[in-house]
Amino acid sequence: MSKPVPITDSDFEKTVLQSEKPVLVDFWATWCGPCRMVAPIVDELAEEYAGKISFVKLDVDQNPKTAAKYSIMSIPTLLIFKQGKPVSHIVGFRPKEELRRSLAGVLG
């Protein structure tokens, strides 16, 4: 079963920016209600897109450097990176179909 992998400021570059395949980064925090609502959807998408897109989670409270670098002002924020560059930016809770369209756009 494929699940989003927790990452930190220290492994962000290697895990996300140097990845051969696209990476969805879920910027979240433990106290964030909408983050808990989107998490099961992100888990399902990680399963669906296993092998095509990597899924990671970054706790903004524990890793403020990366959150600041990408101007994360609201959570949940989902950034999709391709070849080390952010190509899609989704803020707030979104339905699964909308997230699926964003992922398809990155793969297409």
Catalytic site positions: 32, 35
Radius of gyration of the chain measured on its C-alpha atoms: 12
Whole-number Cα distances in Å, 83 to 18, 22, 42, 74, 95: 7, 7, 21, 24, 26
Peptide bond into 34 cis (omega under 30): no
